[in-house]
Structure 1
């Protein structure tokens, strides 16, 4: 299995190397989920400046988290045939460059959160902690798969905080009005696509003492990913109903589930690369569909 979303060949430009290193396309795949949280939480279009700040916060935190993940796993990636072309392994990006990128990105994230609202800024260290500790958690427990999935759920949560912070008067009110059904649905969805990244490496991870549900469950890991995604679709339907989002959201959720089902089919045939990306496409469909449902409601 040679597929690797973070690999980069030595013949490419420095810009290309950085884009592959950061898996920049996945930032844009996460953005509709953050906007979904922002729209559903207040049932209307948030101010443009809030949408822009959500983008900045997500962009900088993802850069910090992805760089930290690559830095933490540099020695492990060098031993894995699938990940040997990652820029920190090949030296196309240096350790010093990676550390500087983490520092700059975290500072930019906290500054962005400050300008969003008070609640976003107060919660930003907790969000950053979840993101930055993931690469170390997988050295101890298979539930690291749920931690990285929680990072995706936090995109929905953070988008909701960004818009709700303009209207709520207390922290308890903020927490109560978060669209939790979509937050949790996103977590279950993300477990599935994260396992598509881990299942091909299960034997290698086991030898290296790394933990995931792919290692823990063996050949039952793929059905486990499917169960999580069924739960994701069920919770998304519940969110459509509970938040009164209407037929556009229901249609988007159906398509979301069908794309995930196709991704599962691809994974069952060993095509984890395409399965990974189709699973991400499904989240874009859900996020945009729910956003449109709010806009036209």
Structure 2
């Protein structure tokens, strides 16, 4: 129960502390999903220019979003035994540094979106708003779990907009290019693994007046997490069919589901840290598998 992905000790290097503070490894939850959206939207390979800008947009949004989350929760984290070693709590990173990181992150995100195409820039404030308001939403409703999961779904959406919106194309063309089934499936998948982060804190959150489905459902929260991820796999398989993907996509979707099943097993054993990180593997499997499927073009469309 002591697992915390954002903890660091002051004896470690400043670079390591920043990496733990921002949890940069969790970018790999979003990046495969963003590239999945980008490849499916055009049924081909986006330009290196677009792929690089997608990476930088996610990178900078991660900086802004995670820093804002830590800054908003620093007083709560200070009294939670699981999160007392977070850098803003220990003073390894100051509030001033955090505010600068938020400015840098949001600036980098908006500039990256502007450089991709006009539609990416048009939607960027919505993506930023959903990301930046999450830490305050959990003060009011358990559906904050779905809000943070929507950030992951917006990665698929944003990747699609980045690739489909290049050139003189209409907004309708861009919107209809988005693989919406994968967007919804990604949201359900993310709700599941986000609860792996909340279930260990359920009692503390209840006493602190914070809301999540871990608090709302109590002992049934883990089952709720598993059902969300089960439905996400079903939707992924449906999406494979609807978007006329091939055998590699189906195989990667099934493997994606099996990895999530392993993560769920670890969660039942109270190994929430291991369960949480197994979802990185599952997103890489799905994203790379579908991208490879499109590259192979089987069946041809």
Shorter-chain TM-score range:
over 0.9
The DSSP-based 3-state class of the residue aligned with 1:244 is coil
The equivalent of 2:14 in structure 1 is 14
**Alignment match, 1:256:** 256
| SS of match in other structure, 2:5 | coil
Whole-angstrom CA distance in 2 between matches of 1:226 and 1:273: 16
CA deviation profile, 1:137-171 (whole Å, cap 9, x unmatched): 00000000000000000111000000010256221
**Size of the alignment, in residue pairs?**
297
User: Contact 2:28–2:280 at 8 Å: present in 1 too?
Assistant: no
Give 1:147's aligned residue: 147
Contact 1:60 1:105 in 2 (8 A): yes
Distance (Å, rounded) in 1 between the aligned partners of 2:218 and 2:239:
32
* 1:172 Cα offset (Å): 1.9
SS in structure 1 of the partner of residue 85 of structure 2: coil
The reply to whether residue 56 of structure 1 matches residue 56 of structure 2 is yes
1:173 deviates by 2.1
TM-score (norm 2): 0.97
Structure 1 alignment gaps of length 5 or more: none
The CA deviation at 1:108 is 1.1
Give the match for residue 97 of structure 2.
97
- For residues 81 and 102 of structure 1, what CA distance do their matches in structure 2 show? 26
Match of 1:46 in 2: 46
How far residue 89 of structure 1 moved from its aligned partner, in angstroms, is: 0.3
Contact 1:202–1:215 (CA under 8 A) maintained in structure 2: yes
Counterparts of 1:147-296 in structure 2, within 5 Å, are 147-166=147-166, 169-296=169-296
Partners of 2:93 and 2:9 in 1: CA distance: 12
Alignment of 1:73-84 (within 5 A): 73-84=73-84
Q: Is the 8 A contact 1:30 1:152 kept in 2?
A: yes
Question: Cα 1:168–1:157, aligned 2, differ >3 Å: closer, same or farther?
Answer: farther
**Cα offset, 1:98, TM superposition:** 0.1
Secondary structure of 1:30 counterpart: helix
Runs ≥4 residues deviating over 2 A: none
Root-mean-square deviation (Å): 0.8
Tell me how far apart the structure 1 counterparts of residues 15 and 258 of structure 2 sit (CA, whole Å): 35
Question: What do residues 108-150 of structure 1 show as CA deviations (whole Å, max 9, x unaligned)?
Answer: 1111100000000011011100000000000000000000000
Bigger mean CA offset, 24-33 vs 142-151: 24-33
Equivalent-residue separation in structure 2 for 1:168 and 1:142 (angstroms)? 41
Secondary structure of the structure 2 residue equivalent to 1:51: helix
Contact 2:29 2:279 in 1 (8 A): no
SS at match of 2:258: helix
Q: Decide whether aligned partners of structure 1 residues 167 and 233 sit closer, same or farther in structure 2, where only a CA change above 3 A counts.
A: farther
Q: Which stretches in structure 2 are left out of the alignment for 5+ residues?
A: none
Distance (Å, rounded) in 1 between the aligned partners of 2:150 and 2:23? 18
